[in-house]
Amino acid sequence: MKWLLITLACIQLSECLLRVPLLKGKSGYDILSEKGLLEDFLKNHKPDPCAKFNVPSCPQSLAANEPMINYMDLSYFGTISIGTPPQSFTVIFDTGSSNLWVPSIYCSETACTKHHRFNPKKSSTYYTNNQPVSIQYGTGAMRGILGYDTVKVSDIVIQKQEFGLSTSEPGGFFSYVAFDGILGMGYQSLSAAGATTVFHNMMSEHLVQKPLFSVYLTRQNGASGSEIVFGGIDHSHYTGQIHWVPVTYEAYWQILIDKVTIDGRVVACSGGCPAIVDTGTSLLVGPSSDIANIQQGIGATASFFGQVNPWYSINCDNLQNMPNVVFTLNGVDFPLSPEAYTLKSTFYGMTSCSSGFGGSGGGLWILGDIFIGEYYSIFDHGNNRVGLAKAV
């Protein structure tokens, strides 16, 4: 009867029912019925094997899907709510930062007044200790205070989530964006003022099935269907095998590029170079000298001479003759076709094309939306790795 003792000694009876049928003998329900425990079990326990075990038949609804708006292939944002009753905001789900913040009524700058602003006075669950927070992005910045309130993302509700309320958005950049704020999806160590990240709370409070999230970005100038999945993977958005790349530094989602090649010739990253996978950056960015090599290799032409990082134009009629740019990550090649790395814009019925590669003075490469649009991206906190598969 040792197996029966083990069964009844389970901490949670819902776990026992999963284990008993694997052993020879009566089922867990039979045993509980014989012992007079079944009625009590059915009354007081709601077994949910999906929440604790990876059962193939579990419904996909355990992962929360959040649709995102594709704004001209330049930014992707979804809707969240903060407060009681809820106040709605559009936010970038940004893997290149780690803080959640939105404009507040304490900010009277144009960057704030052109967007939805959070009003703490209208939320019965808001509180604050007035801790200051300041965040500098590649473009734009915010300054403000930290507050705590109920945050809802898709179907996930987080109590007492720490977030920033902007009192100033210096530089004016955020005056021109189509979204209200930013929800950082980077590691906790990157968070300004030590604020606990949204996804950290999702994991610690067991609000997601798995400690990962995945991103699908449509391209083609505003096509619908982009989404982020919290706690799961949408297998309909990719084809072939998922290739895993280890995270080399846990702040950004930082990985290593082995090399960048065009027609088999190394044009950048000879010997390897660090990169981050960043949903909050529109282009694919690298050191200016390396990007210049790529621009030359694809036949792009500098449109503004004399600048450190000129804008490079592409002949829209020549895409079929242009080469792939291949990024090798963890020994696997990830090619970008001319259609993938070319940005198309139409004004007054005329279409112009430009390169999706951009130069910077920093040492980190940024695999932004140009890259993520081609490769379904899985950000696996549990194993500190990024999964990439050909998007469809």
pLDDT at 296: 97
Q: How does the average pLDDT of the chain come out, rounded?
A: 87
Closest CA to 287 of 358, 200, 189: 358
**Residue 337 pLDDT exceeds 90:** yes
**Residue 138 pLDDT exceeds 50:** yes
pLDDT tens digits for range 174-188:
999 999 999 999 999
As a whole-number percent, the residues of the chain with pLDDT over 70 amount to 83
pLDDT tens digits for range 99-129:
999 999 999 999 999 999 999 999 999 999 9
pLDDT class for 62, splitting at 50, 70, 90?
A: low
* Sequence-ordered list of residues with C-beta below 8 angstroms from that of 329, at least 6 positions apart, any chain: 243, 245, 255, 256, 257, 258, 388
> Could you tell me the two tokens for 45?
């326990």
> Could you tell me the two tokens for 158?
């987080």
- Three-state secondary structure along the chain? CHHHHHHHCCCCHHHHHHHHHHCCCCCHHHHHHHCCCHHHHHHHCCCCHHHHCCCCCCCHHHCEEEECEEECCCEEEEEEEECCCCEEEEEEEECCCCCEEEEECCCCCHHHHCCCCECHHHCCCCEEEEEEEEEECCCCEEEEEEEEEEEEECCEEEEEEEEEEEEECCCCHHHCCCCCEEEECCCHHHCHHHCCCHHHHHHHCCCCCCCEEEEECCCCCCCCCCEEEECCCCHHHEEEEEEEEECCEECCEEEEEEEEEECCEEEECCCCEEEEECCCCCCEEEEHHHHHHHHHHHCCEECCCCCCCCCEEECHHHHHHCCCEEEEECCEEEEECHHHHEEEEEECCEEEEEECEEEECCCCEEECHHHHCCEEEEEECCCCEEEEEEEC
Nearest-angstrom CA–CA distance, 294 and 331: 20
**Residue 4 pLDDT exceeds 70:** no
pLDDT class for 223, splitting at 50, 70, 90?
A: confident
CA within 13 Å, CB half, 386 = 28
pLDDT class for 46, splitting at 50, 70, 90?
A: very low
- Give me the phi and psi of 236, to 5 degrees please: -75, -10
pLDDT at 221: 73
Tally the residues of the chain: 392
**Residue 351 pLDDT exceeds 70:** yes
Q: How far is Cα of residue 272 from the mean position of the Cα atoms in its chain?
A: 24
pLDDT class for 85, splitting at 50, 70, 90?
A: very high
- Between strands 141-153 and 127-136, the pairing is antiparallel
As a whole-number percent, the residues of the chain with pLDDT over 90 amount to 77
pLDDT class for 307, splitting at 50, 70, 90?
A: low
pLDDT tens digits for range 139-186:
899 999 999 999 999 999 999 999 999 999 999 999 999 999 999 999
Q: Which residue has the tokens 């326990």?
A: 45
Radius of gyration of the chain (CA): 24
pLDDT at 308: 54
Catalytically active residues, by annotation: 94, 278
Could you give all domains of the chain from N- to C-terminal order, each with its CATH number?
A: 2-45 (no CATH), 66-207 (2.40.70.10), 232-391 (2.40.70.10)
**Residue 216 pLDDT exceeds 60:** yes
Task: State mean pLDDT over 130-137.
Answer: 97
Q: What is the largest CA-CA distance in the chain?
A: 86
Q: How far is Cα of residue 133 from the mean position of the Cα atoms in its chain?
A: 22
Closest CA to 90 of 107, 106, 103, 72: 103
**Residue 260 pLDDT exceeds 90:** yes
pLDDT at 30: 47
Closest CA to 243 of 39, 386, 61: 386
pLDDT tens digits for range 363-382:
899 999 999 999 999 999 99
**Residue 32 pLDDT exceeds 70:** no
pLDDT at 178: 96
pLDDT tens digits for range 262-304:
999 999 999 999 999 999 999 999 999 999 999 999 999 998 6
**Residue 54 pLDDT exceeds 70:** no
